Structure 1
Amino acid sequence: MKKLINDPKDVVVEAVAGFGAAHSDLVTVSLDPVFIARADAPVAGKVGIVSGGGSGHEPLHGGVVGFGMLDAAVPGPVFTSPTPDPILAATKAVDGGAGVLHIVKNYTGDVLNFETAADLALAEGIEVRSVIVDDDVAVKDSLYTAGRRGVAGTVLVEKLAGARAEAGGGLDEVADLATKVNERTRTMGVALTPCVVPHAGEPSFTLADDEIEIGIGIHGEPGRERIPLEPADRIVDRLLAPILEDLPYAPGERALVLVNGMGGTPQVELFIVFRRVAEALAERGIEVARSLVGNYTTSLEMQGVSITLLKLDDELIELWDAPVQTAALRWGR
């Protein structure tokens, strides 16, 4: 493998240190235990929001720490959950007295470790709520999950819950909003190539030169099927079909569309994908009211894409448009 790293065991700590140095106006970092917090944390009287999970999905989660989104992110080893200790440390660091919401992607290790950290925080007098994100429609269960996986839709949950918290929402209100967003969000992805985890040094799975995997997970978990490579429009139609089957839209309803790159996909290809998504939704009378195109929930250098639809209403549009200032998302401030 060829990677710009030093020692594989130091990848996460060195990356977090570099991220903190690059964005010192937005965040502070702790290297023992490892977590990233917004520079002004804790914000008195505001619900704190903490997320995290295995590294390798950047900019998720550290890249969305800041005003209007996360108060802290806890990166574990590559594709491996952080342990409860740094999650607890991050929770304590952002507790402004109004409680803390944990946003957790639905992977067994993440769920168990965040649950333990929440129990430890409660023992120290910090009220914690947890919302599990499970937006992936590809598979119901896998080696990593009980139920659906949490994937790129996590970015939307974090943005909208962050806006509600920034506006002064209480802990239950922010948790309810995050739950609402998760319930209205569906994602489906495809991989063109595998990725190489630094400590493994070899591809996490294999695909023939003319093969793609429909429904791939963000850690390289198997999807629904392997098929020969097809033109982009046909692949988009394959991804949209299960999303719209699982959460149907009536003509006139509005959607936020996230076309998310897996880390190794050029932007020119992402916009080709978005073009077909917008066209296919228009054919069904669905309005693309908001959109986001780029690398937000990656899988190291994997080539591929995921499509996420969030069914919007007036409340969610207002929260999406609310100001945000993070390394990955910035507008309105």
Structure 2
Amino acid sequence: MKMLINVPETVVPDALRGFAAVHTDLTVDVERRVIVRRGAPYDGQVGLVSGGGSGHEPLHGGFVGRGMLTAACPGEVFTSPVPDQMVRAAAAVDSGAGVLFIVKNYTGDVLNFDMAAELAEDEGVQVAKVLVNDDVAVTDSLYTAGRRGTGATLFVEKLAGAAADEGAPLDRVAAIAHQVNEVSRSFGVALSACSTPSKGGPTFDLPEGELELGVGIHGEPGRERRAMMTSGEIADVAVDAVVEDLRPDAPVLLLVNGMGATPLLELYGFAAEVHRVLAARKVAVARTLVGNYVTSLDMAGASVTICQADEELLRLWDAPVSTPALRWGC
């Protein structure tokens, strides 16, 4: 496999050095692996901290900034960050109003964020946590007990981040984060396997002419493998999966997300099919976001995430945001 890297062992710090050089409005501690919004903590504002294994960019570092995260903790590729990173991030963003940890449901992330919350509270930081578990494809996987946390992480970070930016107290910010997770569902499809720098090749075998329905963002197995399908057929399966599980009775936010190697030409075509299927299921779409946001290195494929949005959530979605990967209204 050809990769644009120096050596596998330095992929994450090399990327963080580049991130620091480009995004000078953020403070990037390459050695300790914490990305913080410059100027934090903000007086009276709840701090939002998230993180996870590298390889899912722009999640999470690309969502640090006004109206989203206050700090992010990148781990090694597909590996949870360690508690010391999270404690350091919490201390850096705590204004006295408390800190919300946003945690995807993967075993390592959950254990380490739980430990970090205890350590931060010992240091006088009030911590609340929300677990994101929106993936309807499987109940348990190689990395989780229960459903995996995937595309809804973006919705949680954006909507809770907007509330924090407005000065909402910790209990309200946490309640919004929990609400968003409860009304969000995701389903992913892989057209090819991802390749990690350490392995130097595909992490799983996906034969030519087949796809994986319900794949996880680390390449975990999904519901089934089938012969290659058209964009419209894939949309039928993905939309049916999320709609049948959520059964929305209000307009939804829609994320049509690329897994890392799918070009926008294909993603927009897929988005058209997703809109078609949602309309046929009588699900109104209030807002749509298309692009590579919650990725799996170089995996080809896409995921569909819906979030049932009331007027308050729509207002928070439209609120200004200014991060490396998401920006409007500023």
User: Could you state the TM-score of these two structures normalised by the residue count of structure 1?
Assistant: 0.98
Q: Residues of 1 paired with 2:16 and 2:198: CA distance?
A: 17
Deviation at 1:249, TM superposition (A): 2.4
Q: Write the deviation string for residues 302-331 of structure 1: whole angstroms up to 9, x where unpaired.
A: 000000010011000000000000000110
Tell me what 1:21 maps to. Answer: 21
Matches within 5 A, 1:88-167: 88-167=87-166
Query: Residue 195 of structure 2 corresponds to which residue in structure 1?
Result: 196
User: Pairwise mapping of residues 1-333 of structure 1 onto structure 2 (< 5 A)?
Assistant: 1-25=1-25, 27-250=26-249, 253-333=250-330
In 2, the alpha carbon distance for the partners of 1:284 and 1:215 equals 20
SS at match of 1:241: helix
Secondary structure of the corresponding residue to residue 201 of structure 2: coil
In 1, distance between residues paired with 2:243 and 2:38?
A: 40
Alignment RMSD, CA only? 0.7
Residue 143 of structure 1: how far off its partner (Å): 1.7
Q: Which whole-Å CA distance do the structure 1 matches of 2:36 and 2:248 have between them?
A: 38
Question: Structure 2: how far apart are the matches of 1:68 and 1:60?
Answer: 15
How many residues align? The count is 330
> Once the two structures are superposed, what CA deviation does each residue of 1:63-89 show, in whole Å capped at 9, x if it has no partner?
000000000000000000011111111
CA distance in 1, matches of 2:27, 2:176: 27
User: Structure 1: which 4+ aligned runs deviate by more than 2 Å?
Assistant: none
How far off its partner does 1:158 sit?
0.2
Q: Distance in 2 between matches of 1:43 and 1:204?
A: 42
Name the aligned partner's letter for residue 166 of structure 1.
D
Distance 1:283 1:267 in 2: 24
Q: Which runs of 5+ in 2 are unaligned?
A: none
TM-score scaled by structure 2?
Answer: 0.99
1:97: Cα distance to partner? Answer: 1.1
Opposite residue 100 of structure 2, the aligned amino acid is L
Deviation of 1:208 (Å): 1.1
Determine helix, strand or coil for the equivalent of 2:196.
coil
Q: Percent same amino acid among aligned pairs? A: 58
How far apart in 2 are the matches of 1:327 and 1:311?
Answer: 26
